[in-house]
Amino acid sequence: MARRRWMLWIAVVAILSGCGSAGNGRGADGLDQLHQQARDALARYDKAVLDAGGHQGFVPVGELTGQLGDWEPKNGDNKQALLSGRVLAAAALPAAPRRTGKVVWKNGATQTVPLLSADEALNQMAAAGAGSCPECVPLEVTGARMTTMRIQTTRGPATAPAWEYTLKGTGVRVTRVTVASSATIHVTPPSSDPYNPPGGVAIGSVTTTTSGRQLTVAFTGARGPRSQPCGADYSAEAVESANAVVIIVIEHRHAGDEACLALGAQRATTVELAQPLGTRAVLEVQHGMPIPVR
């Protein structure tokens, strides 16, 4: 599975009645709504931590399935089969060589986690498939070996135990993090109305300082500053709990009644926390889901 990269993107979408993201919480009423979304997100996350036994050391963010190598031209449909979870064991797969393994962070911190068998991790991979591809031929797994893979977490990049699977008819290998679900935090986003989506600016990633008090958030916003037509400046607020921090990005537009093309560019702003981030997760305000900290 190709690794997703954060990049600058510009897309002309439509003529809008203003610049910047819709539903960004401008004005007192909009900001009050975002504060309520943040409080609700913290409550859901606090419950998820409590359900996991009160400890949140390992919270992966993003894909737990990886791909080593490129699909051959004759196997062009394999990518969609993998994305949709169409994988099955064509041979007996091994148990974990030991009961526990270690997640290791860039700063040297570690956490001991329970491991899954190759069959259990493969079942997780299948269950995590998105979309439907009934016409895709299932990928047949012929073997597996224990290895490690690099993933993003709420505490920064980490190396986690993983299974590496060989597949019938291709040189591509597939990897899957093999940490038992009992050792991770599971957050369920709230249901939302597609015609009335939650407000807020979507955050792509967060970078923290050595002290952990200041966060720099990256997101897609207006191309130019507020001093220019259709431009905007940005500030941020943090709503904090003992387990997580929700970041609210506030957009300050050049004018509210301009007709602008929806041109997006990578922007960033900083926010100061009341307490160092520590092992707390950073959540985006729209759905309250964890985002990667770098």
Cα dihedral 144, 147, 152, 156, rounded to 10, equals 160
Would you state the pLDDT for residue 10?
28
The proportion of the chain whose per-residue pLDDT surpasses 70, expressed as a percent, equals 90
Residues of the chain with pLDDT > 90, as a percent, come to 64
Residue 20 has pLDDT above 60, yes or no: no
Can you tell me the mean pLDDT for 83-101?
96
Positive or negative CA dihedral for 249, 250, 254, 260? positive
Q: Are 155 and 104 in contact (CB under 8 A)?
A: no
Is it the case that residue 16 has pLDDT exceeding 80? no
- φ/ψ of 158, rounded to 5, equals -145, 160
pLDDT, average across residues 155-174: 96
Helix (H, G, I), strand (E, B) or coil at 90: coil
Q: How far apart are CA 176 and CA 266, in angstroms?
A: 31
Mean pLDDT of 10-29: 39
> pLDDT at position 29, please?
59
pLDDT digits (tens, 9 = 90+) for 239-274: 999 999 999 999 998 887 788 877 789 999 999 999
Residue 163, Cβ density class (10 Å: 0-12 exposed, 13-18 middle, ≥19 buried): buried
Confidence check: pLDDT of 115 > 90:
yes
Q: What is the number of alpha carbons within 13 Å of residue 42 lying toward its C-beta?
A: 18
Q: What are phi and psi of 98, to 5 degrees?
A: -155, 165
- Per-residue confidence band for 28, with pLDDT thresholds at 50, 70 and 90: low
Q: Is the pLDDT of residue 21 over 90?
A: no
Chain mean position to CA 67? 18
In this predicted structure, the answer to whether residue 3 has a pLDDT above a threshold of 80 is no
Query: How would residue 100 be classed by pLDDT, with cut points 50, 70 and 90?
Result: very high
pTM equals 0.80
Single out the residue of 204, 186, 216, 165 nearest to residue 292, CA to CA. 204
pLDDT band with cut points at 50, 70 and 90 for residue 188: confident
**Cα gap 200→198, rounded to integer Å:** 7
User: What local confidence, expressed as pLDDT, does residue 119 receive?
Assistant: 97
**All domains in the chain, ordered by first residue:** 15-55+191-284 (no CATH), 60-183 (2.40.128)
Are the beta carbons of 151 and 113 closer than 8 angstroms? no
Q: Cα separation of 19 and 201, whole Å?
A: 13
